[in-house]
Amino acid sequence: MGEKMKNKKLETLMLWAKCKSDPAYFIANYLETFDKTKQTYVKFEPFPKQLEAIQSFKDHRYNIVLKYRQAGISTLTAAYITWLVTFAHADNPEKVLILANKRETAMEFLNKAKVFHSQLPKWVSVDIGDTNSKQHVRFTNGCEIKAVATSADALRGYTPSLLILDEAAFIEGGQDVWAACQASLSTGGDAILVSTPNGYDPIYHTTYDGAKKSENDFKIVEMRWYEDPRFNKDLKWEKEGEETIPDESQDFGKYANYIRDGFNPTAPWYLEMIRQMNGNMRLVNQEINCDFLGSGETVIDKEWIQQQEKENKRDPIRKEGYQRELWIWKDPEPGKKYVMGVDVSTGQSDDFSAFSIICLDSDEGEEQVAEYYGKMPPDELANYVWQVGNRYNAYVVIDITGGVGLPTSLKLKEMGYSQLHYPNGDKNKNPGFNIDSNRRIVVSELEESIRTNRVKIRSERTIAEMTTFVFRNGRPDHMVGYHDDLLWGLAMALYVSNTTFKEIERNKNHSAAMIDSWMTTQNENPQINSIKPPQEKEAMKQSFNNPNPNTPQRNIPDPMSPFGPMNQPAGHMYREYGWLFGGMMGRRRN
């Protein structure tokens, strides 16, 4: 009997050692999960991608999991932390903190861990202690699990050995929360970030992107629905113009090659998910496809952003300025028309000034030719706009919303910059443009220009801002922690060039054509000559062919041209026949 007990104890110790060293073994052999289809608990059998996640949690301090809906990652992570607190030594207890965007989500996570703990075999001598609350569980070996909603104060007084951020992409005020998390982790804790994508958010996407670029220490675990044996039955790979490829091989290397070659996966489960989401592809991209760009409510659709990036983005031919803030794609060309949109900042802290120059009549249509992005006080920015604006002979539109851009626009006016945009062309008003009162129509013009590929955007900086330009409470704005300065500069230039400026051009060309048809130095109009007295005909002829040498010869500026003076007939001829053009003389810019 003693020998049997001894063997039993040895067997238990071996099991304990096996479970302590291998969390996947422990989960698969001792834990159960609820199966909704069977309405009962079944053995927890992690599939290959879940096993990969478990191993990564064990091997790496920092993990970020990109998941689809129903991937089972929250349940898997709850099983992992159950293993962690169960086999921790009392001299080095684990303190786990679960943060989620909602208190209910964090509590659900904790409750899963409590259910798993209740399934532990009797030989595991770790129990839940007496001093507990719904949100904070302590174990007899000194370990703890705490679940709270995210806030900058969530870590106050609690330094976790493992931090779990559930639904990390959906945390409001994410930057403050993440700053507090990083300060806590600096003492040596581990972290697991879990979420479906939510556009280019400041925590989850930024961390994921940094891991992709090896700029941080996070290990990426990507969960794709077509790698899940529960959902990839009758899996097929489709590509327009190509024959459909059926493949349920579970060969993830082959699947990666299909994706690289432009194929898209589909299966009955995937089609059912699209149907349940009413064909809302933004939701499908977020919940199923793990697509950052297609998951956020971006003002400009993912497809058009990608088109600009693939077809139109270029490296600048050079970068100018002390910190290379001015990017040039094309130098000014004689006879071309340019419009500059300027977004002004205070030049302090995280605030950037920006401008974008658009050529309206390049060989490819409307084309971005130059762009500035940097920190510069408003008065210094005026000097810089003067220099670059004169270089391109550009019509300049400055955002004066809230008065920040007013010092720049007024200084340019004082300096005599002649091609400034005025509200409704009224030079009795301050030069500039108020974005807030025109926000929706300006954004509409921007979206249409990009969607129709009418404008060719060359800058990767501007294209990057499109990915974080979203609807916030129904209002087009940048995501928290990001900027939209370049985008507004571009948007103003496009709006003014396609509305106000084109109206100016139409009026100018119409007036010039009529003037040219009535007054010419080479061909006299017989109808005019037939009604003019001989003396006046002779005076007209003399005024064209033999100008008074005592009269200064100069070009009379076109009152409607935003690009400076143009050659016209003598001033008295313009005045004499001005009645022919009625209200067009002195027409205001719109």
- What does the pLDDT read at residue 152? 63
**Contact between 366 and 358 (Cβ < 8 Å):** yes
Angle CA 122–123–127, to nearest 5 = 65
> What does the pLDDT look like over 136-167, one tens digit per residue?
999 999 999 999 887 766 667 678 899 999 98
What are the C-alpha distances in Å from 139 to residues 6, 23, 82? 28, 19, 11
Write the pLDDT tens digit of every residue in 370-392. Answer: 999 999 889 999 999 999 999 99
Residue 294 has a pLDDT of 56
> Is 431:412 a contact under the CB 8 Å cutoff?
yes
| Cβ atoms within 10 Å, residue 193 | 26
Residue whose C-alpha is closest to residue 355's, from 315, 322, 394: 394
Residue 548's pLDDT is: 43
Model pTM?
A: 0.60
What are residue 162's DSSP bridge partners? 96, 190
Query: What are the tens digits of pLDDT across the range 410-447?
Result: 999 999 998 999 988 888 899 999 888 788 888 888 98
The string of DSSP codes covering 12-81 is HHHHHHHHHH-HHHHHHHH-EEEETTTTEEEE----HHHHHHHHHHHH-SEEEEE--TT--HHHHHHHHH
The highest-level CATH class for domain 2-224 is: alpha beta
Mean pLDDT of 519-543: 42
C-alpha closest to that of 486 among 514, 457, 511, 509: 457
The CATH architecture annotation of domain 304-498 reads 2-Layer Sandwich (3.30)
Q: Where are the domains of the chain?
A: 2-224, 236-296, 304-498, 514-584
Contact of 220 with 38, CB cutoff 8 Å: no
- Rg (the chain; Cα; Å): 34
DSSP 519-571: --SS---HHHHHHS-HHHHHHHHHHHHS--TTSPP-PPPPTT-TT-----S-H
The pLDDT tens digits of the residues spanning 191-233 come to: 999 998 887 777 888 899 889 888 899 999 999 999 999 999 9
Residue 85 has pLDDT above 80, yes or no: yes
Q: What local confidence, expressed as pLDDT, does residue 503 receive?
A: 59
Please tell me the distance from the alpha carbon of residue 62 to that of residue 56, in angstroms, as a whole number. 9
